[in-house]
Amino acid sequence: MDTKFAWSTTKKGEQAILYNNYLYNLKRENKNTSSLYVCTFKSCSRSITLKNNVIIKSNDENHNHEPKLSENVQRVFCGLKRRVLDDVDQPITISHRYIYIIKDTKDSSDEE
Predicted TM-score of the model (pTM): 0.58
- Burial code (b: 16+ CB inside 10 Å, e: under 16) for 88-103 equals eeeeeeeeeeeeebbe
> Could you give the CA distance from residue 64 to residue 53 in angstroms, rounded to a whole number?
26
**Has residue 27 got a pLDDT over 50?**
yes
Q: What is the pLDDT of residues 62-104, one digit of tens each?
A: 776 777 656 666 666 677 777 767 776 766 665 545 544 444 5
> Could you give the CA distance from residue 9 to residue 96 in angstroms, rounded to a whole number?
22
Both 75 and 106 in a single domain? Answer: yes
Both 52 and 76 in a single domain? Answer: no
Contact 34, 56 (CB under 8 A): yes
Range of the domain at 52: 6-59
CA-CA distances (angstroms) from residue 78 to 1, 17, 51?
23, 10, 22
Both 35 and 77 in a single domain? Answer: no
